[in-house]
Amino acid sequence: MLALLCACWFLVACASGASVGFDASLGGPEEPNRDLRAIVTETREEIARRRREATVLYAACHVQPSASLDTTEPQVTGLVLFRQLAPGGRLDAYFDLKGFPSEPNISCRAIHVHQFGDLMPGCDATGPHYNPLGVPHPQHPGDFGNFAVRGGSLWRYRPGLAASLSGPHSIVGRAVVVHAGEDDLGLGGNAASVQNGNAGRRLACCVVGLCGPEHWERLAQEHQQRRERKKRRQESKAA
Ligand SMILES: [Cu+2]
Ligand SMILES: [Zn+2]
């Protein structure tokens, strides 16, 4: 019987990759299942990570110039990406746009989610701001506010946006619109201010569609590299 128990213990230790030995501090044999338990823990953590990852939603919006714009107008293109880590959670977003007039000073451009994912005959077809709760601007879920444009381009990471990629107020299938002007954030003192922020003409737009994590991972890496380059430039200037 003792021989059988020893044989079983030896097999378990070998299967788990554990070394067979003795722990002097405990005064007995080193726990043979320790590595096995580590494997089980790692497997559980991996399953939990994959479950969490399965609930993450990603969406992409490939921005194109409004089809109704004259070709002499700024031709704004680029990508807006969204990520929702958990159902009901807020959105993180990357905005990466170019084609604005290359002005010497920084300008501000408004970006919103509009009601319809219809881009023809131009961004005007996207209708008013997406406003499922009937509230004034700038309390709409897609009121992303103003974005600084430098040297004709705009790139920005914005966490914690109030919009959603799931549920009854999802912005999937709706449009992101890039405006020519600045959002007055409802402080303009007229009716349009609490509807759309008097943000001016619609330069470019796109339809939000669900996608995999690849775009997000690529842009996150690019933004990290940009931040590092910017930091190095600032450090070399300060030196
Ligand atoms: Cu708008
Ligand atoms: Zn709004």
| Same domain assignment for residues 36 and 99 | no
Residue 173, domain member (yes or no): yes
**pLDDT by residue (tens digit) across 218-234?**
999 999 999 999 999 99
Which residue among the candidates 83, 96, 109, 114 is catalytic per the annotation?
A: 114
Same domain, 191 and 150: yes
Asked whether residue 118 is domain-assigned, the answer is yes
> How many A from CA of 214 to the centre of ligand 1?
28
Q: What is the pLDDT of residue 19?
A: 39
Taking a C-beta distance cutoff of 8 angstroms, is the pair 11, 20 a contact? Answer: no
Q: How many domains does the chain have?
A: 2
Neighbours of ion ligand 1 (CB under 5 A): 112, 177
Q: Where are the alpha helices (DSSP H) in 17-99?
A: 34-55
- Among the listed residues 109, 140, 183, 184, the single catalytic one is 140
Q: Do 49 and 63 fall into the same domain?
A: no
- What is the 127 CA–ligand 2 centroid distance (Å)? 12
**Residue 191 falls inside a structural domain:** yes
CATH number at residue 85: 2.60.40.200
123 lies in the same domain as 180:
yes
Q: Do 12 and 116 fall into the same domain?
A: no
- In this structure, the answer to whether residues 40 and 78 fall within a common structural domain is no
Q: Are residues 88 and 10 in the same domain?
A: no
Tell me the per-residue pLDDT of 172-231, one tens digit each, with 9 for 90 and over. Answer: 999 999 999 999 999 999 999 999 999 999 999 999 999 999 999 999 999 999 999 999
Q: What is the DSSP string of 175-223?
A: EEEEESS---TT-SSSTTHHHHTT---EEEEEE-EEE-SHHHHHHHHHH
Contacts of 193 (CB under 8 A, 6+ apart): 137, 184, 186, 187
Same domain, 126 and 11: no
- Residue 147, Cβ neighbours under 10 Å: how many? 21
Nearest alpha-carbon partner for 208 in 101, 121, 69, 84: 84
Tell me, yes or no, if 158 is annotated catalytic. no
Cα of 179 from ligand 1 centre, angstroms:
6
Examine the residue annotation and report whether 169 is marked as an active-site residue of this protein.
no
Residue 116 carries which DSSP code?
Answer: -
Ligand at minimal distance from the CA of 143 is 2
Which residue out of 83, 179, 183, 184 is catalytically annotated? 179
Does 239 reside within a domain? no
Residue 186 lies in a domain: yes
One domain, residues 121 and 197: yes
Domain identity same for 40 and 81 = no
State how far the Cα of 25 lies from the Cα of 63, in Å rounded to an integer. Answer: 65
Length of the chain, in residues: 239
Q: 104 Cβ partners below 8 Å, 6+ apart?
A: none
For the full predicted model, state whether its pTM sits above 0.85.
no
In a domain, 22, yes or no: no
- Are 179 and 67 found together in one domain? yes
In terms of Cβ atoms closer than 10 Å to its own Cβ (0-12, 13-18, 19+), residue 80 is buried
Catalytic residue among 96, 109, 118, 137: 137
Burial of 109 (0-12, 13-18, 19+ CB in 10 A): buried
Residue 217, in any domain of the structure: yes
Q: Is 202 marked active-site? A: yes
Task: Point out the residues of the chain with pLDDT beneath 50.
Answer: 1-28
Q: Answer yes or no: is 24 within a domain.
A: no
CA 215 to chain centre: 10
pLDDT of amino acid 18 = 40
Q: Which domain does 150 fall in, by range?
A: 57-228
Q: Which two tokens stand for residue 169?
A: 């107020």
Q: Which ligand is nearest to the CA of 110?
A: 1
- Å from CA of 197 to ligand 2 middle: 7
Quote the Cα angle for 53-114-127, to 5°.
150
| Coil vs helix vs strand at 26 | coil
Together in a domain, 43 and 106? no
- Whether 140 is catalytic is yes
Name the active-site residue from 83, 96, 109, 112: 112
